[in-house]
Amino acid sequence: MRTQDSYLIGLVGSGIGPSLSPPLHEHEADELGIRYLYRRWDLDVLGRPAEDIGELLAAARTAGYDGLNITHPCKQLVIEHLDELSPDAVALGAVNTVVFTEGRAIGHNTDWSGFARNFSRGLPDAPVDRVVLLGAGGAGSAVAHALLTLGTGVLRVLDADPGRAESLAASLRERFGADRAEAASLEVVAESLAWADGFVHATPTGMAAHPGSPVPAELLRPELWVADVVYRPLETELVVAARARGCRVLDGGGMAVFQAVDSFRLFTGVEPDADRMLNHFT
């Protein structure tokens, strides 16, 4: 239920100059007739280290902010400064949305729900018995939680850092059951993609600053569905190659939009028009 006529929201993180969150939120609010200001709090511009997140949170509260999106590198660091966490934020150990309400700061995670909703919408009948996830960082953890929540039978986690892959797989086994997640070495990527129904890529490879494809194109069989979480650009080398090979493909734009849809709802209590936000973004 909508309780206010105007909202003041911020995005805290590093290197957020190119973030599309401000226009995405503000355009949707305009369409809904809600006054809504979405401000960047860029750690690099402010000259503040990520460890100052507690002070920045307090400053935003004092300045009358209604909520914050939190991005790299503060999604874990912010947790100890919050009054309450949603069960999903507890499970994931990461927060990307903070709502200030009745004097309390409540942390949520809409990255996983954003991926889940976009996946169900974009690849509704995709088989998920066996899925390979490349990248066990923040985005990968959210994707993994979404895939197992959506019923993935076995998720195989690969990462350049084997310890990170194993620790994500172990945490998933605790949450979802002993036979639902395994870690494997990057050396078995070819066998893994031959085994899998689907492949999700969650490393920075393919972003403008990290060009390239995370896996050789010839490993992409037409029966494999492929999802990328990189959304700047939307047409990553992986997305282009997977389409050319005849795979069903989900680019990273949908996850970016649906996490914003879920955050917008948490901030305002108003259901935004997801299709309009998607059209505005893509």
Could you list the active site residues? 75
For every residue of 18-76, DSSP letters joined together read T-SHHHHHHHHHHHHT-EEEEEEEEHHHHT--GGGHHHHHHHHHHTT--EEEE-TT-TT
SS3 188: helix
Query: Quick one: 69 or 141, whose CB is closer to ligand SKM?
Result: 69
Cα–Cα distance, 271 to 126 (Å, whole number): 27
Q: Which residues, including other chains, have CB under 8 Å from residue 127's CB and lie 6 or more apart?
A: 197, 198, 225
Q: Which residues bind ligand SKM (CB under 6 A)?
A: 11, 16, 19, 21, 69, 71, 96, 111, 259, 263
**200: number of Cβ within 10 Å:** 26
Cα–Cα distance, 278 to 251 (Å, whole number): 12
Cα–Cα distance, 268 to 263 (Å, whole number): 9
Query: Quick one: 78 or 155, whose CB is closer to ligand SKM?
Result: 78
Query: Residue 280 half-sphere exposure, CB side, CA atoms within 13 Å?
Result: 23
Query: Quick one: 16 or 143, whose CB is closer to ligand SKM?
Result: 16
Query: Quick one: 171 or 259, whose CB is closer to ligand SKM?
Result: 259
> Bridge partners of 131?
155, 198
Give least dist CB 197 to ligand SKM, A. Answer: 27
Enclosing H/E stretch for 144: helix 138-149
Query: Quick one: 15 or 162, whose CB is closer to ligand SKM?
Result: 15
- Location of structure tokens 């947790």: 79
